[in-house]
Structure 1
Amino acid sequence: MDGTVSGVEVESVKYPQDGTVRTQFDQANTPASMAVIATLAEVMDTDPVALDPLHSTVDPEALDALGQVRNGTNGDIHTTFTHEGHEIRVHSYGVITITLPEDEPLVEKHERGVGR
């Protein structure tokens, strides 16, 4: 599914039953740091500017550079960090996986159509 998450173009947003949210974004047009904040804001059903600054957890420039290191021979490079109580994994091939805290109601968000 193509769409917009908090104003950022993404190729897909998936809400698997295991409590994770997966977003794929176009690294050529969207820095990883922006895609992380946009996806996290969507998951938390809040405005991106209401979130803690990403730089309080991880270096946004280093995160953005992660997407620029992949060439066919390097395979996947990824980093994992926690921001706003969510475990976030960013892959060099343009995928973000956010693991929801156990107390966050994934089913309610999916039923409302958040991210679809």
Structure 2
Amino acid sequence: MDTKVSGVGVEAIEYSQESGTVRTQFDQEKILASMAVVATLADVMDTDPVELDPLHSTVDPDALDALVRAHDGTNGDSHISITHEGRAITVHSYGVITITPEHELAAEKYERGAGR
């Protein structure tokens, strides 16, 4: 683990100033996806993880953890996208979390024609 976000060790974290996107890589064999999501989101929002709305109010943390643990590298990527705390969050089964401000996700959908 090279760095920590809100006390949770992750392999890498990248910030994009232009889009406000944060991308975290974590070892899904050592860290539960739900913990990595909460830690990354708390870091993005510059707050203590206990100050966030509980993740279970948006998604079942056990199901999220199972999705990531189920990945064996041969089935391609499984991912889940949710909105929590005003942020669009995508968790990939290969251990990557992307967090984007919700308005960025809405603009992206509109540009692809989904919002028309």
Place the TM-score, normalised by the shorter chain, in its bin: 0.7 to 0.9
Contact between 1:21 and 1:100, CA under 8 Å: does it hold in 2?
Answer: no
Q: Distance in 2 between matches of 1:11 and 1:2?
A: 5
CA apart distance, 1:71: 1.4
| Aligned-partner residue type, residue 44 of structure 1 | M
Query: 1:7-59 CA distances to partner (integer Å, 9 max, x unpaired)?
Result: 10001110123221000111111100000000000000000000000000000
In structure 2, what is the equivalent of residue 6 of structure 1? 6
Contact between 2:23 and 2:98, CA under 8 Å: does it hold in 1?
Answer: yes
Q: Which runs of 5+ in 1 are unaligned?
A: 103-116
Which is helix-richer, 1 or 2?
Answer: 2
CA apart distance, 1:69: 1.4
1:100 aligns with 2:109: no
The higher radius of gyration belongs to: 2
In structure 2, what is the equivalent of residue 112 of structure 1? none
Q: Secondary structure at the match of 2:30?
A: coil
In structure 1, what is the equivalent of residue 35 of structure 2? 34
TM norm structure 2? 0.83
Q: Secondary structure at the match of 1:97?
A: strand
Contact between 1:10 and 1:26, CA under 8 Å: does it hold in 2?
Answer: yes
Q: Percent identity?
A: 69
Equivalenced residues, count? 103
Q: Which runs of 5+ in 2 are unaligned?
A: 104-116
CA apart distance, 1:70: 1.1
Q: Which has the higher contact order (CA 8 A, sep 6+)?
A: 1
Q: Which runs of 4+ in 1 moved over 3 A?
A: none
